[in-house]
Amino acid sequence: MRPSQVLVSGVSGPELTNDEIHLFRKIQPGGFILFTRNIVDPWQTRQLTDSLRDLCEETPLIAIDNEGGRVWRTAPFSPACPSAAVLGRLNKPKLIAEAGWITGRLLSILGINLNLAPVLDLDHHPGSSNALNGRCWGAFEQDVINHAGVFNRWQRRQGIAGCAKHFPCGGRAAVDPHHTLPTVQIDQEEILREDIIPYTALMPELDAIMVSHLHFPQIDRNGLPASLSSNIIKRLLRDRLGFDHQLVLTDDLDMGAIQQTYGTPEAARMSIEAGGDLVLLCHQFMNAEESIAQLEKISPSMFYDIEIRIERAKKRLKIPPPYSEEAFATIMRDLSTLRESVPLEESEHGSGENPASPVENY
């Protein structure tokens, strides 16, 4: 396989530029990730995803963050599903199933095949500035298993792959990895007692796992974030826990936690060497060839298992249905009905969340 197949690239705007068309056609990335900057209306979004598929020799992953609440990239034309925190507090499986069902249908008609959700982090620090406010399904592992499992199950029934995050325990961070590298003083056995349980319980239903940019000094003594650590990806996630079939991807390599020390090209190589399958280049993607140059230093034998996992994941993807305004309108009606089912006091504003301050990359 081409080393470039491990890259998941951002796109600059609602339409591909000539430079992007030339780059993507040349390097053939394994996938793309969309943000609010790429989205104007449903038909434009579907045209963009169709254009991305047309550029690729193999079916690309086309990812987005549509968790619900303030992390809802299709907000320019679609009101958000209630957040994980809101639905978790209500503890109504039927509403959670409807949220996953509607989310899956919406992404499918837009030509998107991978939702970077659900969050499996336990909410250890509610209200802290760790980028997770309102995004966790609960503070206890069984609540997360019950709620996130239902959401993921129903989005997958619509042909959308799900991605659990942020392994091993993003909820332990007290600061935001978008800006700096959080350090978490906890040993592996304590993580296994609590934070890992949702991953192992839901393992058969997980298509992919996103590894966090958090540093665990008691697990990795080399100062590496989890996303670049073979102790965490290969030894813990792959070997000890048995996650050998799921795709493993990094959080965005353009985050401050990575940029302050490594830079994107070196981090891309280190993540793959540590046992990962895919790396996210969400913003500085026009420099992707620098990362490819680093990836080409890796022994070709290391790409053997990656190729198998990527091919297995892509075989499960469905061809997007034809776009129609009628189908989209039906999804919007169902979404409105869901939102009306949530009591006013449990709305996003009433939950202490701040919908006006979304972060562009998670």
Report, as residue numbers or ranges, the catalytic residues. 178, 251
Q: Give the total residue count for the chain.
A: 362
DSSP 3-state of 115: strand
Place of tokens 């509607």: 102
CA 261 to chain CA mean position, Å: 23
How close are the terminal C-alpha atoms of the chain, in Å?
Answer: 28
Residue type, 139: A
d(CA 255, CA 300): 28
For residue 207, what are the CA distances in angstroms to 155, 199, 281, 316? 12, 11, 20, 9
Cβ atoms of 158 and 114 within 8 Å: the answer is no
Cβ atoms of 55 and 24 within 8 Å: the answer is yes
What DSSP designation does 232 have?
Answer: I
d(CA 121, CA 140): 10
For residue 172, what are the CA distances in angstroms to 223, 230, 257, 353? 17, 20, 15, 19
